[in-house]
Amino acid sequence: MTTLWSAAEAPGADRAAAVREAVGSNVVRVDIDLPDDPDRIDVELALSDAGPVQVLTVRSMATTVTRCPRLARDDSEPQLFLTLQARGASGMAQHGRYAQLRRGQFAVYTTTSPYTLTFDHGLDAHFFRIPVAEVALPPSAVQEASARTLGANDPVAALASSYLRRLAVSPGLRSRAVADSLAQPTIDLVRAALVSSLGDPGLGKESLESTLEMRLLEHMRAHLGDSRLSPRRVAEAHSISVRHLYTVLGRSGITFGEWVRTHRLEACRGELARPHARARTIASVARQWGFPDATHFSRVFREAYGMTPREWRSLRTDR
């Protein structure tokens, strides 16, 4: 599903604030240079998701986008952005490097370090946002790959450019069922392009194994609300055997079932403590976090915390 937004929807006096809010709340918090005259503010966004990958197409007047050190320091969920130039040209600066992009070329940057994007003659580009953890490369490699122009001169980058452009412009590829199935191949191709640009073919394989535990736990955390979450499903999502999954988690003393149950209970406890959740039934909160059986949920909640979910909610919300 694609969400469309245009600055023209906002009243003139509120247009600049609306643009900054639309970008900050849906994409990433940045400083955006906008014209003083609201009639000259021309911004259109198209957003869609493919699993953990966000696809964003932006068209706008000339502008400069900056992420300052303060915003970079506050980033609790590091993201990697890939900018694919659709038309015209743009510039990207990060880590003391500057990449000039023309049609079909792309470059990456991360949200944990300051950067500047310049669009002197207007903005017409596709952006892909991927959690850094999903890229599964060492931080030093991601930093080394950032703000470097990638495209036709590298066969893997050329393949990535063609694929990403089709993903961004083809509505049929962004339907929920199709898009989710393309998420992992998209991440794998981006990783391959970065590894190829660094000239270290062994890097991708080594980094995948070294970050496997982190990626398994992130996947488990992201799917806590799915009552079908199981070792087999997680293993299949990462193209490993169930035995290997148990081995990787076991190195840190993690048992799959206990970890999932503990984190589901913590999520339920947090939700039940919120005043705005008082109107919700305890059963609905339990279902939201992967407990389809309310009786079973009440029993394991009491075993974990020494009181029933109802007693816990009353204790927290009656204050």
Same-domain check for residues 59 and 169:
yes
pLDDT per position as a tens digit, 236-286: 988 899 999 999 999 999 999 999 999 999 999 999 998 888 889 999 999
> Terminus-to-terminus CA distance in the chain, angstroms?
42
The CA distance from 304 to 306, in Å, is 6
The structural domain count of the chain equals 2
Same-domain check for residues 194 and 241:
no
pTM for the predicted model, two decimal places: 0.67
pLDDT at 317: 72
CA distances in angstroms from 125 to 22, 59, 95, 136, 283, listed in the order given: 17, 7, 22, 25, 45
Closest to 276 (Cα-Cα) out of 315, 313, 221, 308: 313
pLDDT per position as a tens digit, 15-70: 999 999 999 999 999 999 999 999 999 999 999 998 899 999 999 999 999 999 99
Domain encompassing residue 272 = 211-319
Of 208, 223, 252, the last residue of a domain is 208
Same-domain check for residues 236 and 202:
no
pLDDT per position as a tens digit, 174-221: 677 677 788 888 998 899 899 989 987 677 666 566 668 877 888 898
* CA-only gyration radius of the chain, Å: 22
> Which CATH number belongs to the domain containing residue 305 in this structure?
1.10.10.60
Of 208, 235, 269, the last residue of a domain is 208
Q: What is the DSSP secondary structure assignment for residue 38, as one 8-state letter?
A: G
> Which CATH number belongs to the domain containing residue 76 in this structure?
2.60.120.10
Same-domain check for residues 312 and 245:
yes
The CA distance from 55 to 295, in Å, is 41
The CA distance from 185 to 231, in Å, is 21
